[in-house]
Amino acid sequence: MTGRRVPRIPTPSWYAGAGSDQDVVVSTRCRLARNVDGMPFPCVAADDDLIEVGRLCAQAVASIEPHGLSVGRPATEPGLLADLVAARYASFRWAESERPGRVHIAPDGSWSAMVNEEDHLRVQVMFGGFEAEAAVGRCRAIAESLARQVAFAHHPDYGWLTASLSNAGTGMRLGFLLHLPALASGPALIEAVEAARRMGCVVRGAFGEGTSGTGAFVQVSNRCTWGPEAHDAVGRACGAGRYLVEREREARHELMGRRTGASDIADASAGARDRILNADLDAQELIHCISILRLGMAVGATKGGIVRTGEWIGAAGVMGWVERTGRNRSYERMRRLAAIRSELRS
Amino acid sequence: MTAALVCLDCLANRTSDAMRMPARFMALLTMPTPTGLPTVPATVDEAASCPSCGVTFSQVLASGLLGCADCYVAFRDAVEAGLRNAHTGA
């Protein structure tokens, strides 16, 4: 695929980052799931149904964001699919399907709408750092605007109806991508993750269930979207996120307080930087190196803008994806590593 | 695994127990998220199907996914049990 030009997508707003707590919090994401009333869900829908869903959703999205980018599926350029996944505009699941679907992306890169993933419509807003209030507010506003254009399936007792019961009710998932390298290096991690679970949250690897090689990047999000506990889902997710942030900071402080702590982190960061620049890394090695380097930046042991590491994490994630799926493996590894190296050298 | 890549583990704690943490960490992170289904109330016939989309309850159990909005009514008992299962007990 080398030599083919991959169309540009809007730069995700979470790459730039403006939120708080970026030493630990990479990004905040709020997602709302909805299904078009009267249409079968994607898992059983015929292609004609999915095309009609796509048309209805495209009209609704265009009514509130006429200048966004819309990317169709199938027959999209593979490099473009990888870019959508790296930017987290689209999920691995969406990108792997070849059935009719689309992703709509706001020009400012702050939100996207996946059409025909597990549900007909998944609207998501992402910001860098800890930005829960802004992400939830924006996502709800977008979903409410869309609901004025297209009727979504709803039940008085069950709330918004989704293909999986785990999303029914509010359809909302508020999550944070956290970097917990110090906590992950010691026994306190298990206790911290269990505490987050007791607070009503799900803790997973950076790239979803069953993925390995997270490099101590984890996602924490609310578990409940239905019933009494769903009413406080935002508070629970924020509480668990804040708790893990503070525990990570304590663990970093403890690390730095050791006799050789600062120099050990500086040495490890230099080694990680050298490997990124010079070694032919696979995705798992890359994410570990990014993790070490990011820790070094966060504690001031090495130079570099920590905000830029968000994009690198996305790149490592998509490298892992192409390694698993065999999609343009060499090409994607080459261009992802080249982009990161270029920034590290500058 | 190269020296540079194990450094982060070494930094925190140089004991052998600490070196086992990543595996335990990963086991925690890869535990499946509760989906709500399948928990099968005795009142639901696995051969029952949704009159709108035709999905059978055994298909719902296999995929963990309902076929359409009307499945919520067609499989009401299982849906309500599944919702309670997925969204309580934090």
At B90, the pLDDT band (50, 70, 90 cuts) reads: very low
Contact B8 A268 (CB under 8 A): yes
Residue A84's SS3 state is helix
DSSP secondary structure, chain B, as one string: --HHHHHHHHHH--SHHHHTHHHHHHHHHTSPPP-S-----TT--TT-B-TTT--BHHHHHHHS--SSTTHHHHTHHHHHHHHHHHHS--
User: By C-alpha distance, which of A159, A221, A137, A133 is closest to A34?
Assistant: A159
Yes or no: say if A259 and A146 are a contact pair by the CB < 8 Å rule: no
The predicted model scores a pTM of 0.87
Which residue is listed with tokens 């055994």?
Answer: B58
Query: What region does A96 belong to: left with phi over 0, alpha with psi -120 to 50, or beta?
Result: alpha
Residue B16 pLDDT exceeds 80: no
The beta-carbon neighbor of B53 closest among A40, A186, A212 is A40
Alpha-carbon span A236 to A242, nearest angstrom? 10
Share of chain B above pLDDT 70, in %: 49
Beta bridge partners of A112: A105, A124
Note the ipTM here: 0.86
Which of A183-197, A243-257, A277-291 shows the highest mean pLDDT? A243-257
Residue A48 pLDDT exceeds 60: yes
Alpha-carbon span B6 to B22, nearest angstrom? 11
Alpha-carbon span B4 to A74, nearest angstrom? 41
pLDDT at A228: 85
DSSP E strands: which ranges in A129-256? 154-155, 159-160, 172-179, 201-205, 217-222
Contacts of B71 (CB under 8 A, 6+ apart): B50, B52, B53, B55, B60, B79
Alpha-carbon span B76 to A1, nearest angstrom? 50
Does residue A7 or residue A239 have the better pLDDT?
A239
Which residue is listed with tokens 């609207």?
Answer: A123
Structure tokens of A184?
A: 């992950």
At A7, the pLDDT band (50, 70, 90 cuts) reads: low
Share of chain B above pLDDT 90, in %: 23
Q: Which of A244-253, A260-269, A321-330, B64-73 has the lowest mean pLDDT?
A: A321-330
Yes or no: say if A233 and A171 are a contact pair by the CB < 8 Å rule: no
pLDDT at B19: 31
Q: A95-131 pLDDT, tens per residue?
A: 889 999 999 999 999 999 999 999 999 999 999 999 9
DSSP secondary structure, A296-324, as one string: HHHTTSS-S-GGGHHHHHHHHHHHHHHHH
pLDDT at A5: 52
Alpha-carbon span A189 to A177, nearest angstrom? 16
Q: A179-216 pLDDT, tens per residue?
A: 998 888 777 888 888 899 889 898 887 765 444 446 68
Residue B14 pLDDT exceeds 50: no
Residue A155 pLDDT exceeds 60: yes
pLDDT at B7: 40
Does residue A6 or residue A320 have the better pLDDT?
A320
Q: Which of A3-7, A54-58, A147-151 has the lowest mean pLDDT?
A: A3-7
Contacts of B16 (CB under 8 A, 6+ apart): none
- Taking a contact as any Cβ pair under 8 Å apart, which residues of chain A between 26 and 55 contact chain B? 35, 37-41, 43-44
Q: Supply angle C-alpha A296, A301, A302, rounded to 5.
A: 75
Which of A161-170, A250-259, B55-64, B74-83 shows the highest mean pLDDT? A161-170
Determine contact: B18 vs chain A, CB below 8 A.
Answer: yes
Structure tokens of A122?
A: 């998944």
User: By C-alpha distance, which of A295, A290, A217 is closest to A256?
Assistant: A295
At A25, the pLDDT band (50, 70, 90 cuts) reads: very high
Listed in sequence order, the DSSP H helices in A110-232 are: 132-147, 181-184, 188-198
- Taking a contact as any Cβ pair under 8 Å apart, which residues of chain B between 25 and 84 contact chain A? 25-26, 28-30, 32-37, 52-55, 63-69, 72, 79, 82-84
CA of B55 vs chain A CAs: smallest distance (Å) = 8
CA of A239 vs chain B CAs: smallest distance (Å) = 13
Share of chain A above pLDDT 70, in %: 94
Average pLDDT of every residue of chain A: 89
User: By C-alpha distance, which of A80, A81, A33 is closest to A57?
Assistant: A33
User: By C-alpha distance, which of A144, A174, A168, A142 is closest to A156?
Assistant: A168
